[in-house]
């Protein structure tokens, strides 16, 4: 089962950014530099008047539902803009990530490109001037009204690439993902319990499951990163969303050693030491854990929305999903994100058509087409939810978090090394090799060194 890798592998290419100024075929001034991004009143939305255009699109929408949706959208786009021929280059996420830095800084620049929004990728490219600021297009096409602020923040950076989560917009996504709580309805019924509506009820449910000799929470953390998907939602019960966003985006102004973060780390440590996460969660692989859950081992599984369809195929209607209960702010906040955003390279030959393409594939009609083809659209999510099943729960949970609460960043967004630091630290915390204070210090050391050096 997949887990998106938010660590950028292209940061080493940052020094190539200056080469973009020499890329041929770009809308450039006499100096050879890419043209500045237009203001909203300068955006040309009359794509039919541009004449015959070949629009080069690089994407990683290669999986079944992803590919089906993008192909359907390409057909509809061609009907609307017959003067635009889309030349699609589709490849795996890993392959695209490896090619992106060279493409952006070379002589063969696509018009539309999916760019991973982590600091090592999008942040680096923004700092090097390789991506177009989409703020003017966002205003002209109404993207700021179409997308929730917590969604757009995942694709926003300051112009120098230092501040993540605010500033200019450098990408737009089609799909969403969210971490929440899977539960077995049959297990809750057998325990005489209802779906929890508060974190206190979650904690009570965990205790009741343990007393009944059930595994309270299934976790396979051999790979280290799965614990981040448990800790992220849990952290929101103790720490206000604004602070978590600051920490998760790797922006200065927060502290992992604060009292509320220590409380969250203490709760995770308690779950580890009490056996609530299993006898040896650090020895169980992620892709072995969730199949065990479908076979009846465990009452809860805290994890990502992408697990839903495969687990439902085994568990059927017994499998349910919920957004975590309201957190420290009194509103729901949990770890989540978007699919890989679509960006426009600074040296793109056809930026106006590229923006129209991005607008088209993220429109309200596009959201319906994505849902019809089995994806989870980032907008209109609850409205387009299936009539029943776990995907109905997931769609509604994502909609609740993204529109009424806060979609918190994946904690490994924070720094180029934070995935390794946090993964190892939480694994040690769960296994009892470190205590909450020691864990907090380790997390703060990585975060602090990065933010102080930014």
**396-430 confidence digits (pLDDT tens):** 999 999 999 999 999 988 998 998 999 999 999 99
Q: How far is CA 131 from the centre of its chain?
A: 19
pLDDT in tens, 263-283: 999 999 999 999 999 999 999
pLDDT of residue 62: 84
* Structure token pair of residue 241: 């969303």
pLDDT of residue 380: 94
- Domain 11-175+339-380 and domain 177-337+396-453, same fold? Reply is yes
pLDDT of residue 431: 98
Residue 32 has pLDDT above 80, yes or no: no
| Better-scored residue on pLDDT, 184 or 108 | 184
CATH of 177-337+396-453, one of 1.10.3260.10, 3.20.20.70, 3.30.470.20, 3.40.190.10: 3.40.190.10
Kindly report whether the global pTM for this prediction surpasses the value 0.95: no
pLDDT in tens, 329-340: 999 999 998 989
User: With pLDDT > 90 as the criterion, what percentage of the chain qualifies?
Assistant: 79
pLDDT of residue 204: 97
| Better-scored residue on pLDDT, 95 or 434 | 434
Residue 386 phi/psi, 5-degree rounding, is: -60, 165
pLDDT of residue 102: 87
The pLDDT-based confidence of 97 (bands split at 50, 70, 90) is: confident
Residue 373 has pLDDT above 90, yes or no: no
pLDDT of residue 65: 79
The pLDDT-based confidence of 33 (bands split at 50, 70, 90) is: low
Which whole-number Å values give the CA distances from 448 to 22, 158, 418, 440, in the listed order? 37, 19, 11, 11
The pLDDT-based confidence of 119 (bands split at 50, 70, 90) is: confident
Closest CA to 43 of 136, 132, 112, 134: 136
pLDDT of residue 35: 60
Distance of alpha carbon 395 from alpha carbon 86, whole angstroms: 31
Closest CA to 123 of 19, 11, 251, 26: 11
Number of helices (H), then strands (E), belonging to the chain: the values are 18, 11
Residue 26 has pLDDT above 70, yes or no: no
pLDDT of residue 265: 98
Residue 73 has pLDDT above 90, yes or no: yes
CA atoms within a 13 Å half-sphere pointing along the CA-CB vector of 12:
4
Mean pLDDT in the chain? 90
The pLDDT-based confidence of 346 (bands split at 50, 70, 90) is: very high
Domain-wise residue ranges, the chain = 11-175+339-380, 177-337+396-453
Residue 24 has pLDDT above 70, yes or no: no
Q: How far is CA 338 from the centre of its chain?
A: 4
pLDDT of residue 13: 37
User: With pLDDT > 70 as the criterion, what percentage of the chain qualifies?
Assistant: 92
Distance of alpha carbon 435 from alpha carbon 423, whole angstroms: 15
Distance of alpha carbon 342 from alpha carbon 105, whole angstroms: 17
pLDDT in tens, 217-265: 999 999 999 999 999 999 999 999 999 999 999 999 999 999 999 999 9
The pLDDT-based confidence of 216 (bands split at 50, 70, 90) is: very high
Mean pLDDT along residues 87-112:
90
To the question of domain 11-175+339-380 being in CATH 3.40.190.10, the answer is yes
CA atoms within a 13 Å half-sphere pointing along the CA-CB vector of 133:
21
């Amino acid at each position: 089962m997949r887990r998106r890798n938010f660590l950028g592998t292209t940061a080493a290419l940052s020094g190539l950014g200056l080469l973009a100024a020499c890329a041929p075929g770009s809308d450039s001034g006499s100096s050879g530099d890419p043209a500045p991004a237009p203001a909203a009143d300068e955006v040309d939305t009359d794509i039919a008047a541009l004449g015959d255009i070949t629009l080069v699109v690089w994407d990683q929408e290669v999986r079944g539902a992803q590919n089906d949706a993008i192909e359907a959208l390409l057909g509809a786009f061609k009907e609307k803009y017959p003067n635009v021929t889309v030349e699609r280059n589709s490849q795996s996420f890993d392959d695209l990530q490896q090619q992106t830095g060279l493409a952006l800084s070379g002589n063969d620049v696509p018009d539309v490109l999916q760019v991973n929004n982590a600091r090592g990728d999008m942040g680096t490219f923004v700092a090097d001037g390789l991506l177009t600021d989409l703020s003017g297009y966002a205003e002209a096409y109404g993207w700021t009204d179409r997308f929730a602020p917590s969604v757009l923040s995942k694709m926003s950076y300051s112009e120098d690439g230092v501040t993540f989560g605010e500033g200019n917009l450098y990408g737009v996504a089609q799909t969403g993902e969210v971490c929440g709580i899977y539960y077995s309805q049959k297990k809750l019924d057998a325990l005489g319990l209802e779906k929890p509506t508060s974190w206190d009820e979650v904690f009570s449910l965990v205790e009741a499951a343990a007393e009944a000799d059930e595994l309270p929470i299934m976790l396979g953390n051999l790979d280290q990163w799965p614990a981040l998907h448990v800790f992220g939602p849990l952290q929101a019960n103790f720490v206000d969303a604004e602070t978590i966003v600051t920490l998760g985006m790797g922006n200065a102004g927060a502290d992992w050693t604060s009292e509320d973060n220590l409380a969250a780390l203490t709760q995770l440590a308690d779950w580890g030491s009490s056996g609530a996460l299993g006898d040896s969660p650090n020895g169980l692989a992620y892709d072995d854990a969730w199949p065990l859950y479908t076979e009846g081992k465990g009452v809860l599984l805290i994890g990502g929305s992408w697990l839903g369809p495969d687990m439902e195929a085994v568990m059927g209607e017994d499998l349910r999903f919920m957004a975590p209960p309201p957190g420290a702010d009194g509103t729901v906040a949990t770890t989540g994100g978007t699919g890989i955003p679509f960006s426009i390279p600074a040296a793109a030959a056809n930026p106006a058509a590229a923006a129209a393409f991005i607008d088209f594939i993220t429109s309200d009609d596009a959201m319906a087409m994505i849902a019809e083809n089995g994806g989870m659209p980032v907008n209109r999510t609850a409205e387009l939810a299936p009539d029943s099943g776990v995907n109905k729960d997931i769609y509604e949970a994502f909609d609740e978090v993204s529109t009424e609460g806060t979609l918190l960043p994946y904690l490994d967004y924070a720094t180029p090394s934070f995935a390794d630091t946090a993964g190892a630290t939480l694994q040690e915390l769960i296994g009892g090799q470190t205590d909450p204070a020691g864990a907090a210090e380790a997390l703060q050391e990585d975060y602090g060194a990065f933010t102080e050096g930014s």
